[in-house]
Structure 1
Amino acid sequence: MPRHIACLSFDFDTWSGFASRGLTTPTPISRGEFGVIGAGRILDLLGSRGIRSSWYVPGVVIETYPQACERIVASGHEIGHHGWSHVPPANLPPDREAEEFGRAVETIRRLTGHGPVGYRSPAWDISDRTIDLVLQHGCRYDSSMMGHDCEPYFARRGDKVAADQPLQFGETTDLVEIPISWSLDDHPHFEFMRTKEFLMPGLANAGGVLENWIEDFEYMRRITEWGMLVYTFHPYVIGRGHRMLILEKLIDALGEMDAVFMTLDEVQQEFRARSSATSG
């Protein structure tokens, strides 16, 4: 019987993503803080539809807004590891990456009563050490890579990559990779950002973005018997009025296509069960 899964995931970064880029003046910080307002709106919407989702929260955000994070947990949503700061692991020295990773695990443990099952790297840029850290700390899945669009797979470590040589594949691990995509992320579509180094135009028409998001799910239904898509949202982005409306419309449209809404933890469990049944 066909089964098609939609994962609604939320990167609750608030101000931490701006601070990691050196944007620490009052205006960008307040822009990130709007995420707390957005998170409340999102939780109200998800609660009204009976949908559980996955939230990835940096440790600094958990400690800054404990009540907002406690509400996420109390509402039955998954809390995943999203670093201590929002600095991408690929930009951290080894000892700093390890220290921040462990610190965030303990922060999540204090919030939820247990360690995280899943990890998502800030800015989706892991180092060649990250997979080892994820496994060492007992996580069962990662959601930072893009090797497929609608099917999980087991992540590799130790690839050898050079621009002028064929790729040498590393070891396949027991870590389930639940792939993501920038096209299914609200941030590049909607957020206007300008610094001395770059310009991100953002501010796309919401209706066009919604059409893309729906049609990706429609295509998955056409080509797979079992598949999943991960949508990634940021409360300070999707929490704005017209974007909350398209989130509501997306949920309705997916429901009309018989989508099964699941957390990423539930997806990795189902994928493992399917993989065991196939290999057995």
Structure 2
Amino acid sequence: MARHLVCLTFDFDVVSGWIARGMTTPTPMSRGEMGLIGAKRILALLAKHNIRSTWFVPGHTIESFPDAAKEVVDAGHEIANHSWAHIPPAMMTREEEEADLVRASEAIIRLTGKAPRGYRSASWDLSPHTIDLLVKHGFKYESSLMGSDYVPYRARRDDVVKLGEPMILGPETDLVELPISWTLDDYPHFEFVRTPATILPGLQSADGVLRNWTDDFLYMKRDFEWGVITYTCHPFVIGRGHRMIMLERLVETLVSEGATFCAMEDAMEEFLARERRAG
């Protein structure tokens, strides 16, 4: 029987991403704090439609805004590791990355009473050490890679990539990859960011993004007997009024098309069960 899973995921960064970029003046801080308002709107929408989702929450958010983090837990949503300081792993040494990873998990354990099963890196930029560290620390799934769109796969370690030479693929691990895409992330579509070096224009029409996001699901439904699609949102981005209307329209449309909404840990378990049945 055809079955098409939808994972709504929320990177609850609040101010951590701006701090990691060195943008700590009052305006970017207030911009991040909008995520506290957006989170309440999202939780109300998810409750209205009886949807369980996954929230990737940096340790900085948990420790800076504990009441907001607890509201997500109390609503029954999965909490996954999104680093402590929201610094991309590729910018850290192995020792720094491991310390940040462990510190983030410890914050989640204090919040939820259990270790996180999933991980998503800040800025989706893994280091050469990330997969090894996730396996070492008992994570079950990862969601920062883009090697597929609707079908989970096993993350590899120790690829050899050198300029001018063929790529040598490393061995697969037990870590399940639940792939993502910038096209299914609200941030590049909607956020205007200006720095001395770059401009991210953002500010696209929500209607256009809604059509793209809907069509990606419809393609999966048409061409795949089973699949998972992951949408990535940030409460300070998607939480704006017209975008909340867009998000609810997306939910309503996908429900009418037969989608099954679930947390990422549940999608992972279903993938593993299918894998076992296939032998």
If the length of structure 2 is used for normalisation, what is the TM-score? 0.99
Structure-1 residue corresponding to 2:197: 197
Shift of 1:4: 0.4
Residue 118 (structure 1) aligned with residue 118 (structure 2): yes
Q: Which residue of 2 aligns with 1:70?
A: 70
Partner in structure 1 of residue 39 of structure 2: 39
Residues 100-132 of structure 1 show CA distances to partners (whole Å, capped at 9, x for unaligned) of 111111100000001000000010001011111
Alignment of 1:144-223 (within 5 A): 144-223=144-223
Letter in 1 for 2:204: A
The answer on 1:130 being equivalent to 2:125 is no
Does structure 1 residue 142 correspond to structure 2 residue 142?
Answer: yes
Following superposition, the deviation at residue 165 of structure 1 comes to: 1.2
Structure 2 segments unaligned to the other structure (5+ residues): none
The residue aligned with 1:248 is 248
Q: What letter matches 1:238 in structure 2? A: I
In structure 1, the residue matched to 2:59 is: 59
* 1:96 to partner: Cα distance: 0.8
Query: Which stretch of the first structure deviates more once superposed, 248-257 or 133-142?
Result: 133-142
Q: Residue by residue, what CA displacement relative to the aligned partner does 1:15-55 show, whole Å, maximum 9, x if unpaired?
A: 11111111010000100010000000000010011000000
Following superposition, the deviation at residue 163 of structure 1 comes to 2.5
Query: Which amino acid is 1:22 matched to?
Result: G
Distance, in Å, in 1 between the alignment partners of 2:114 and 2:137 is: 12
Identity of aligned residues (%): 54
Residue 93 in structure 1 maps to residue 93 in structure 2: yes
| Cα deviations by residue, 1:195-215 (Å, 9 ceiling, x for unpaired) | 011100000011000000000
Structure 2 distance, partners of 1:207, 1:74, is 32
Q: What per-residue deviation string (whole Å, max 9, x for no partner) do you get for residues 160-201 of structure 1?
A: 011211110001000000000000000000000000111000
Deviation at 1:250, TM superposition (A): 0.3
Distance 1:224 1:95 in 2: 41
CA–CA separation in structure 2 for the residues paired with 1:167 and 1:111? 42
Distance in 2 of aligned mates of 1:75 and 1:138: 25
Q: SS at the partner of 2:268?
A: helix
The two structures, once aligned, show a CA RMSD in angstroms of 0.6
The residue aligned with 2:264 is: 264
The count of aligned residue pairs is 279
TM-score by length of 1: 0.99
- Shift in Å, 1:265: 0.2
Alpha-carbon displacement from aligned partner over 1:57-106 (angstroms, at most 9, x marks no partner)? 11011001111111101101000000011110010112111111111111
Q: Runs of 4 or more off by more than 2 Å in structure 1?
A: none
Deviation per residue, 1:212-243 (Å, 9 max, x gap): 00000000111100011000000000000000
Quick one: distance in 2 between partners of 1:123 and 1:133?
18
Task: Find the aligned partners of 1:276 and 1:164 in 2 and give their Cα distance.
Answer: 39
- 2:253 corresponds to which letter in structure 1? A
Alpha-carbon deviation of 1:135?
1.3
Equivalent position of 2:50 in the other structure = 50
Q: CA deviation at 1:276?
A: 1.2
